[in-house]
Amino acid sequence: MFRWLTRMTPTPRLVILSVFIGVIGGLGAKLFLVLIHLVETYFLTPVTGYVMLSVVQAHALGHVVTHSWLWWIPVATTVGGLISGWLVYTFAPEAEGHGTDAAVKTFHRTGGRMRMRVPFIKTVASAITIGSGGSAGREGPTAQIAAGIGAIVGELLKLSDDERRWLVLMGMAAGLSAIFKSPLGTAIFAVEILYSRMAFEGAALVYTMISAAVGYTIIGLFDGFTPLFILPPTVGVGSPVDIIWFALLGVVAGGFGAVMPWMFYGMRDLFRDWKIPNHIKPAIGGAILGLMAIALPMLLGGGYGYMQFALAGGAGLGLWMLFVLSVGKMLALSLTVGSGGSGGVFAPSLYVGAMMGAAFGVILHHFGLHGIPITALAVVGMAAFFAGAARVPIAALVMVIEMTGGYHLIMPTMLAVAISFMVQFYLTRHAKYPTLYEAQVPTPAESPVHRGEFYHAAAELLRREQVTLDRDILSAELQHSLERGEGIPLSRRKEHLYSLQVPPGSSVVGREVRSLGLSDLQVLIVGIIRGDGDIVPHGGTTMQVGDGLLVASDPEHIDAFRLLLKPRASSEMPGSPTALSGEQDLGIIETNPGQAGNDKPKPKPKPGD
């Protein structure tokens, strides 16, 4: 039916597909918002008596709504987490967590491929998580949903890996544009979020701009073309001296941005280490969040209404409450998504930044500095905090300005965003989790997408003898590639070579290679490093604890094999590739025809042999 598309040259084909993905992304975002509203209306409110405030409602009220203690909230958040956990871990475990990170991983690691069921499971699970009160954002699920549609289109048309990856970025831009009404910002976000060091996938930008514009147009037909938030008409910078305080706010935002990934992934790791079934972990996270929300229901959901209160100058929220809400939202997000619930991190990050900026403004007013509107500081705080925590300064700047319509605040926002990015980068330079997006890589040179190109270019230069390269340096670089889990691309094949290790308690220990179902997994064990020697495996080779495996597989299927290797008692722990020990050579495993019938390691040759 669409064979005419495959006969086109790439550029016009991608232009047509970017329009199509934009339409699908916009419609998908609208459907997702409707599902969230249905869960809120027919589950959260009847059970708890709590009504999520929209931006329009908050603007009309003009003051913070006070609540009595809502004792039934833990019931809603726990049940929502239980249903979401069952859906995700039963049908599509890769749909857990914040979907933007999954979309980034799809770009870097799987060649733009995603199982067809993932977008649909993500849609339902995220709507239940957020609609039942889970403290998560809409953007992550929407990004993964729309990116998943792009991946499905790429699969149906049998496109190249490069085009599939760009379809994922188009989908991400379209979905986010529809959610946040920020076409330019989300087009930039889709190509900036891939890297953590001021790098972009620039070649895809023209296509993400088209898909984002179309997605924005589609949602505008339903909800209008006004910004997401409502600002007073006269907010601006009163004096050039005020720039000092916006710069200081950037420093504060960078400090908060360094704490956020530590808290989020620390909570995620605690839940992963907990030896209980994954299916019920989101329910436990939801229960703890629910107990917090009995007294602080403002922490539930995306919190758009309370962000509007902060943008209206605090609307009666005192300094202490603003601080509690900013820190409490980080904890609430970590409990919801870190436990395995399905939701995004962008909206909660905006919430933290808005409350933090408003609190900073209240402090300045306490010291008699009344010339700087709290509204302006809240807007700048939103952009500065997310720019640091997620390492997306340009996208954060443009998105927040578009979402609020605060174009007159672009100059102080630029300054605060740049400072926040640098402060956060410095504070997290040795951190285990430096950013909110774990799947980011520092630069294109360190992306598996481009490393294959670099390897092939280097190999071609070496083949032509245009350059020389020390063998130890080359071996070390290949070793580092294996340690990073990227694998080494094999010439003229889509497979990569990976290094993995059999951990204690793994389900493969004691089993023969022929019983592992490697053909179904599309995996080939090339060699086994055991002790000081190596084995060329055959069907009867028995796996042992500590075996180092050299595995050939394509990036789409290697994760399934990693899952097979995980310990039985901690199947939720992520499989991690390990380096080959000692001086074992990366790509050279000598075969011994006479060894096929036994598993004794062949000793390594001594120097001089």
Domain boundaries, the chain: 16-427, 486-582+592-603
Q: How far apart are CA 198 and CA 400, in angstroms?
A: 18
| 486-582+592-603 topology per CATH | Alpha-Beta Plaits (3.30.70)
Q: How far apart are CA 44 and CA 101, in angstroms?
A: 28
Encode pLDDT of 41-62 as tens digits: 999 999 998 989 888 888 888 7
Instruction: Report the pLDDT value the prediction gives residue 2, as an integer from 0 to 100.
Output: 62
**pLDDT of 63 over the 90 cut:** no
**pLDDT of 600 over the 60 cut:** no
Q: Is 292:459 a contact under the CB 8 Å cutoff?
A: no
Q: What contacts 88, CB < 8 A, 6 or more positions away?
A: 95, 96, 121, 125, 282, 340, 342
Triad 562, 100, 192: Cα angle to 5°: 110
Give residue 501's pLDDT band: very low, low, confident or very high (50, 70, 90): confident
Give residue 350's pLDDT band: very low, low, confident or very high (50, 70, 90): very high
**pLDDT of 17 over the 80 cut:** yes
The count of C-alpha atoms lying within 13 angstroms of the C-alpha of 136, restricted to the half-sphere facing its C-beta, is: 40
Structure tokens at 273: 């280490």
Q: Is 310:355 a contact under the CB 8 Å cutoff?
A: yes
Q: Which CATH superfamily is domain 16-427 in?
A: Clc chloride channel (1.10.3080.10)
Q: What mean pLDDT value characterizes the chain?
A: 83
Encode pLDDT of 520-558 as tens digits: 888 888 888 887 677 878 888 888 888 888 888 887 778
Encode pLDDT of 183-232 as tens digits: 999 999 999 999 998 889 988 999 999 999 999 999 999 999 999 998 88
Q: In the chain, pLDDT over 70 holds for what percent of residues?
A: 84
φ and ψ of 550, to 5 deg: -100, 115
pTM for the structure as a whole: 0.76
